[in-house]
Chains A and B, each alone.
Chain A
Amino acid sequence: MTREISVELQKVSKLYGQDKVVDEVSFTVEKGEVFVMIGPSGCGKTTTLKMINQLIPHSSGNILVNGTDVAELDVVELRRSIGYVIQYIGLLPHLTIQENIAFVLKLTKHPKKMQKDRAEELIETVGLPLNYLNRYPRELSGGQQQRVGVARALAANPDILLMDEPFGAVDPLTREQLQNELLRLQESIQKTIVFVTHDMQEAFKVGNRIGILRQGKLVCLGTPMEIVKSDDEFVKNFIGQGALFEVFDTIPVTRVLQKDFPTARYDQKVDLQAEELEDWENVFIIDSDDSCKGYIPLSSLNSDGSYTADQIIPLPKASSPDISVKLAVQEMLWGGRTWLPIVDEKSGFKGIVQFRSCAGLVAGDRR
C-alpha cells in the first residue's frame, strides 16, 4: 500500500550569509503521521519547521506540501492551510479565547456565527469549559493556554499541523498531560503533524518517526525503536542512557503478551513432557470455572507431575492490559519476578508477560 505524502523536503538548505544553518535536509512525512524533529539547540530544527510554512524562506531545495511546491503557492494561503502551534505565549493577549481560537477564520473573513460555533466546538475538543471562551489568555493557566493554542491551530481544519516546542513552557506534569491529550486527540483527528522538541522523552512519546538534527544535518531518521538501536555515537549520546526505557513506555504491553502459557487443570497432574513447558519456569493452575488459581514452579513439582493444593502459589498482583512495556518491566522489578500476569477488569485473565519477551523487543531484530 502506498501511503500519501503530506510534506516532503528535498535537499532543503538555509543559509544566513555564509552560515549553513540547515544543510540539505530531506525527509517525507506521511499523511496522518507524527514526525518529530529533535536536536540540540541551534541544530536547525525550528528553522526547518518554519521553512515548511515559509515563515523562513528556504535558500535551496524543494519543499512540497500535499504534493505542491511551496514556491508556487501564495505564502499567506499556505500558512492558512497549515495549523501552527507554538508555546502558549503565542496567544494574542488582547483577544478573548474565542477570538483567539477563531483568529484564522476571522482572517479569512468567515461569518461571525461560524467563528463562534467553531470556537465552541474546539474548546470542547481540547477539554476546556465553554465559559472560558469569554476570558482572556492571561486568566488561564499555562496548560490551559496551551490547549487553546492547539484548538486555534485546528480552527480552519488543516490537514497539517506544525508544532514548535508546543509544550516547552509548561511544568513537567502538565506537559505529560498535554502529551497524552495530544495522542488521544490525534487518534480521532489523524492530522499530519510535524513536531519540534528538544525533549527526547517527548519525541519518543509522540513521534511515529523521529529525525535527529545536528548542525543543520539530518543525522538519524527512523521509528523510536530504530533510533534507540542506532550505532551512531552522537545519536547514542544525544538520546541518553534511559532512552530504551522511554521507548518501552510507548509500546503497549499487549505486544509482548503471551496468551499461550502452560496450564494444568486443578486436580490433574502436570504433563512434564508437554512441549509447551519449554522456556517456562512455572505452570499455571486453572480452576473448573476457568479462573486462574495460581501457579507452581516446575522445580517444586513431584517427578510424576503431581502436586498438592498447598503448593499452589497465588498469582501476584496483576496489571491491566492498558499499561506500557515500561510499566510492566517496572512491575516485574518491584515484585522481583521475571513475569507478570495481565488481567482485564472485565474479561478476566489475559495472559502472561515474560521479561524475556520484553528484552526480545530490542534484541529480537538485532540477532
Chain B
Amino acid sequence: MELLSSAWAYFINRQDLMFEVLKEHVTLVLWATFFTIIIGVPVGIAISRTEKLRNMILGSVSVLYTIPILALFGFLIPIMGIGSTPALIALIIYGLLPVIRNSCVGITQVHPMLKESAKGMGANNLQLLFRVEIPLAFPVIFAGIRTALVMNFSLATYAVFIGAGGMGRIIMQGIRTFNTGMMLAGILMVVITTVLLERMVGVIDNRIQKRYSLSD
C-alpha cells in the first residue's frame, strides 16, 4: 500500500514528465505502426500472388521477428547511432511479421469463385484488388495490424535503451535511482495504457469482424 501511494504521489507530482513520456511513446508507436502498414500490407498482397516469393519473404521476416530486441539494438546502433530512428526501425521490423502474414493470408483466402465472378463481370486488376480482394481480406489484415500495434506499444518501453524516450524512461530512471515510487509509477503506467489500448483496438476489431462476418 505504501508503495502504491508513493507511486501515486510521484505520478501526481510529475504529471508534466508523465505526459511527456507518454507523448514520446505514443508518437513512436504510431509512426512505427504507420510505416508497418505502409510497407507490410503491400508486401503481403504482393507475396500472395507468388508462392516462391511468399516463402522467401515470410521466412526472412520470421527470422527477424525472433531476434531479441536488445540484440537488434546492438545491431542497429553501429549503423545509425542512437535516437528515435533506430528505435523506429526496430519496431517496424517487429510489426512487419503479423501485418505481412495476415495481409497475405487474408488475400489468399478470398474465395476464388468470388474473384472469378468479379472478373467475369468485367473488373480489371485494380478494381478486383480494391473492390473485392482488399475489402474481403480487411478483417484479417486488421487483425494483423492490431497485433502489431499492441506489440509495438509494449515493445516501445525498451526504446529508452537506445535513447528514444518513451515510458521506459520512468522505469529505468526509477531503477537507477532506487526510487521505487517512480519505478512503480512507470510500470503501472505502461501496464494500464497497454491494457487500455488493447481493449480499445479490440472493440474496433470486433466491430469490423461483425460488419464483415461472411457466414452464410
Asked if A pairs with B, the answer is: yes
Q: Interface on A for B, CB 8 Å cutoff? A: 50, 53, 55, 76-81, 84, 86-87, 89-94, 103-104, 106-108, 138, 152-153, 162
- Is A92 a contact partner of B212 (Cβ separation < 8 A)? no
- Is A79 a contact partner of B119 (Cβ separation < 8 A)? yes
Interface residue SS majority, chain A? helix
Partner of B122, one of A50, A80, A92: A80
- Is A94 a contact partner of B122 (Cβ separation < 8 A)? no
Once the chains are docked, how many angstroms separate the CA of A86 from the CA of B122?
14
- Is B121 a contact partner of A84 (Cβ separation < 8 A)? yes
- Is B214 a contact partner of A86 (Cβ separation < 8 A)? no
Contacts of B135 in A (CB 8 A): 94
Query: Would you mind naming 7 contact pairs between A and B with Cβ atoms under 8 Å apart?
Result: A86-B117, A90-B114, A104-B122, A107-B121, A107-B127, A138-B214, A153-B121
- Determine how close the nearest CB of chain A comes to the CB of B143; give it in whole angstroms: 16
Once the chains are docked, how many angstroms separate the CA of A106 from the CA of B214?
22
Once the chains are docked, how many angstroms separate the CA of A104 from the CA of B120?
10
- Is A80 a contact partner of B121 (Cβ separation < 8 A)? yes
Contacts of A152 in B (CB 8 A): 121
Interface centre among A81, A107, A108 (most CB of B within 10 A): A107
Contacts of A90 in B (CB 8 A): 113-114, 116-117
Contacts of A108 in B (CB 8 A): 122
Partner of A89, one of B113, B123, B136, B213: B113
Once the chains are docked, how many angstroms separate the CA of A55 from the CA of B113?
12
Q: A92-B132, A138-B216 are in contact. Are A79 and B120 (CB under 8 A)?
A: yes
Once the chains are docked, how many angstroms separate the CA of A80 from the CA of B135?
22
Contacts of A94 in B (CB 8 A): 135-136, 212, 214
Contacts of A81 in B (CB 8 A): 122
- Is A79 a contact partner of B113 (Cβ separation < 8 A)? no
- Determine how close the nearest CB of chain B comes to the CB of A59; give it in whole angstroms: 19
Tell me if B118 counts as interface (CB < 8 A to partner A).
yes
Tell me if B176 counts as interface (CB < 8 A to partner A).
no
- Is B136 a contact partner of A104 (Cβ separation < 8 A)? no
**Smallest CB gap from A78: residue in B:** B122
- Determine how close the nearest CB of chain A comes to the CB of B120; give it in whole angstroms: 4
Interface residue SS majority, chain B? helix
Contacts of B114 in A (CB 8 A): 89-90, 92-93
Once the chains are docked, how many angstroms separate the CA of A107 from the CA of B117?
13
Tell me if B111 counts as interface (CB < 8 A to partner A).
yes
Contacts of B131 in A (CB 8 A): 106-107
- Chain A-chain B contacts (Cβ-Cβ < 8 Å), number: 66
Once the chains are docked, how many angstroms separate the CA of A43 from the CA of B119?
23
**Smallest CB gap from A94: residue in B:** B135
Binary contact track B195-214/A, C-beta < 8 Å → 1, others 0:
00000000000000000111
- Is A93 a contact partner of B120 (Cβ separation < 8 A)? no
Q: In B108-150, which residues have CB < 8 Å from any A CB?
A: 111, 113-114, 116-124, 127, 131-132, 135-136
Contacts of A79 in B (CB 8 A): 119-122
- Determine how close the nearest CB of chain B comes to the CB of A338; give it in whole angstroms: 50
Q: A89-B111, A93-B214, A138-B215 are in contact. Are A76 and B122 (CB under 8 A)?
A: yes
Partner of B124, one of A76, A86, A92: A76
Once the chains are docked, how many angstroms separate the CA of A89 from the CA of B116?
11
- Is A55 a contact partner of B116 (Cβ separation < 8 A)? yes
Contacts of B121 in A (CB 8 A): 79-80, 84, 103-104, 107, 152-153
Contacts of A93 in B (CB 8 A): 114, 136, 212, 214
- Determine how close the nearest CB of chain A comes to the CB of B119; give it in whole angstroms: 6
- Determine how close the nearest CB of chain B comes to the CB of A50; give it in whole angstroms: 8
- Is A84 a contact partner of B216 (Cβ separation < 8 A)? no
- Determine how close the nearest CB of chain A comes to the CB of B156; give it in whole angstroms: 34
Contacts of A84 in B (CB 8 A): 117, 120-121
Partner of A55, one of B111, B119, B214, B215: B119
Once the chains are docked, how many angstroms separate the CA of A108 from the CA of B131?
13
Contacts of A107 in B (CB 8 A): 121-124, 127, 131
- Is A53 a contact partner of B120 (Cβ separation < 8 A)? yes
Contacts of B122 in A (CB 8 A): 76-81, 104, 107-108
